[in-house]
């Protein structure tokens, strides 16, 4: 599993505006909000500025967002960040998430993951579960949790991350739980990100979770439409501990194992066969010597083994006949698993 599983940071234009408009309005800010909704941005900016100068933190939250985005005023991310920080320190819940996101990479400011985490936690504690998506981003964008540099895998970093104990994964546990909480709040970027993670997790079986996260959404991006289709296909195979991506990755090795057995037994010329297909999965064993990441959200419980081994029987069609092979798997510490096949 490629950990972290990067999903691009949502734009401030989408995420922050959504957070702000979801908050309840106050009577003294109604006029400014109406101007904003009517896209009379310069007028709205002036009204928000006046209200903010009088100490209205809700108005300052809009002022910060508009300044960062350049809506109704010249764009100035540094000035917007100062407003967001003042607003957050003044106790405005919507500004917690705004300021948290501004401290993440790619926002035009010096990266400060510690600040991002502090203010994201405040946002979550204040009732904004969607901010959990930002806490996941802070985890995955942290260099301490990355093993690729400019697209090149650094094996030593990979091995270090994979070997971390449960006690060394408190940040990862917190981030995954927060992401699942954001997904539960029906925040679509979080649902997509979590589905992508679960698509790669193996050892507990994650097909139902992927289907729950992606199903019923007619506007899925192409990548996630393909992911949903794959989950449906895996569901038809029967119970399996292997994640959808692992099954796809393992199919060439499964084909090679069956081809070797056919050739050894003097069967068909496998070079002439192009009908290889996984038909079903059965006789799934328990996870032996399992060490699980202790996740509590129902979407995550029993999905992430750090250690453990299991076997399954895969029935395949190849060269016009059915064959059964034993698939063996070993959790790799990164949410995925290595695999091997035998007859």
- 303-326 pLDDT, tens digit per residue, is 999 999 999 999 999 999 999 999
Q: How far apart are CA 315 and CA 86, in angstroms?
A: 62
What homologous superfamily is domain 31-145 in, according to CATH?
Answer: Tetratricopeptide repeat domain (1.25.40.10)
Task: Please report the beta strands in the chain, taking only residues with DSSP state E, as ranges in sequence order.
Answer: 148-149, 152-153, 277-282, 288-292, 305-318, 321-331, 337-342
The answer for residues whose C-beta is within 8 angstroms of residue 68's C-beta and 6 or more apart is 12, 16, 75, 76, 77, 80, 81, 84, 98, 102
pLDDT(17) > 50: no
Q: Which residues are registered as beta bridge partners of 305?
A: 292
Where is pLDDT greater, at 137 or 9? 137
pLDDT band at 24 (very low <50, low <70, confident <90, very high): very low
- pLDDT given at position 149: 87
Q: How far is CA 189 from CA 3, 141, 326, in A?
A: 18, 16, 38
pLDDT band at 268 (very low <50, low <70, confident <90, very high): confident
3-state secondary structure of 191: helix
Would you place residue 269 in the very low, low, confident or very high pLDDT band (cuts 50, 70, 90)?
A: confident
First to last CA, the chain: 26
- Residue pair 309/331 in contact (Cβ under 8 Å)? The answer is yes
User: Each residue of 171-223: pLDDT tens digit?
Assistant: 999 999 999 999 999 999 999 999 999 999 999 999 999 999 999 999 999 99
Domain boundaries, the chain: 31-145, 200-342
Cα 186 to Cα 155, 214, 249: the distances in Å are: 36, 11, 30
Which range has the worst mean pLDDT, 208-217, 228-237, 263-272? 263-272
Q: What is the pLDDT of residue 28?
A: 73
Range 258-271 average pLDDT:
87
What's 314's DSSP letter? Answer: E
The Cα 149–Cα 134 span in angstroms is 22
- Please tell me the predicted confidence (pLDDT) of residue 22: 45
| Residue 11 pLDDT | 41
| 158: three-class secondary structure by DSSP | helix
Q: Quote the pLDDT of residue 192.
A: 98
Q: What is the mean pLDDT of the chain?
A: 91
SS3 string, 224-290, reads HHHHHHHHHHHHCCCCCCCCHHHHHHHHHHHHHHHHHHHHHCCCCCHHHCCCCEEEEEECCCCCEEE
pLDDT at residue 218 in the model:
93
Write the pLDDT tens digit of every residue in 28-83: 789 999 999 999 999 999 999 999 999 899 999 999 999 999 999 999 999 999 99
Percent of the chain with pLDDT over 70: 92
Q: Per residue in 79-121, pLDDT tens?
A: 999 999 999 999 998 899 999 999 999 998 999 999 999 999 9
Q: What is the pLDDT of residues 281-295, one digit of tens each?
A: 999 999 999 999 999
- Residue 307 C-alpha from the chain's centroid: 22
Q: What is the mean pLDDT of residues 253-263?
A: 94
d(CA 280, CA 142): 40
Q: Which two tokens stand for residue 168?
A: 């060394």
Q: How far from 322 is each of 40, 261, 262, 278, 292, CA to CA, in Å? A: 68, 12, 11, 10, 35
Q: Residue 13: which pLDDT band, with cuts at 50, 70 and 90?
A: very low
pTM above 0.85, yes or no: yes
The per-residue pLDDT for 8 is: 32
How high is the pLDDT of residue 10?
Answer: 38
pLDDT of residue 93: 87
What the block records as the tokens of 22 is 């979801």
Q: What is the pLDDT of residue 270?
A: 86
Instruction: Tell which wins on pLDDT, 265 or 313.
Output: 313
Higher-pLDDT residue of 258 and 26 is 258
Burial class (CB in 10 A: 0-12, 13-18, 19+), 178: buried
**Can you tell me the distance from the alpha carbon of 122 to that of 50, in angstroms, rounded to the nearest whole number?**
27
Tokens of 5: 């599983």
């Amino acid at each position: 599993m490629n950990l972290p599983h990067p999903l691009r940071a949502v734009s401030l234009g989408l995420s922050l505006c959504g957070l702000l408009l979801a908050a309840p309005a106050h009577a003294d800010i109604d006029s400014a909000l109406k101007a904003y909704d009517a896209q009379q941005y310069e007028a709205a900016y002036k009204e928000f500025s006046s209200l903010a100068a009088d100490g209205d933190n809700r108005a300052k939250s809009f002022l910060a967002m508009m300044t960062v985005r350049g809506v109704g005023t010249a764009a100035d991310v540094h000035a917007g960040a100062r407003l967001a920080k003042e607003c957050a320190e003044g106790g405005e819940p919507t500004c917690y998430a705004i300021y948290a996101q501004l401290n993440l990479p790619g926002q035009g400011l010096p990266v400060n993951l510690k600040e991002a985490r502090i203010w994201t936690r405040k946002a979550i504690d204040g009732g904004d579960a969607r901010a959990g998506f930002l806490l996941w981003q802070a985890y995955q964008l942290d260099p301490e949790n990355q093993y690729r540099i400019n697209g090149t895998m650094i094996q030593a970093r990979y091995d270090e991350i994979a070997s971390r104990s449960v006690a060394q994964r408190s940040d990862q546990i917190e981030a995954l739980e927060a992401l699942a909480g954001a997904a539960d709040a029906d925040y679509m970027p979080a649902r997509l990100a979590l589905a992508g993670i679960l698509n790669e997790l193996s050892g507990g079986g994650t097909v139902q979770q992927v289907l729950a996260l992606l199903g019923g959404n007619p506007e899925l991006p192409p990548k996630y439409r393909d992911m949903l289709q794959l989950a449906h296909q895996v569901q038809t195979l029967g119970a399996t501990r292997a994640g959808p991506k692992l099954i796809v990755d393992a199919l060439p090795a499964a084909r090679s194992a069956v081809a070797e057995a056919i050739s050894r037994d003097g069967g068909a010329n496998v070079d002439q066969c192009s009908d290889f297909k996984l038909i079903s999965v059965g006789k799934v064993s328990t996870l032996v010597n399992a060490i699980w990441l202790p996740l509590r959200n129902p979407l995550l419980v029993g999905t992430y083994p750090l250690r453990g081994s299991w076997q399954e029987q895969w029935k395949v069609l190849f060269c016009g006949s059915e064959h059964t092979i034993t698939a063996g798997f070993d959790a790799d510490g990164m949410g995925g698993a290595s695999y091997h096949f035998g007859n």
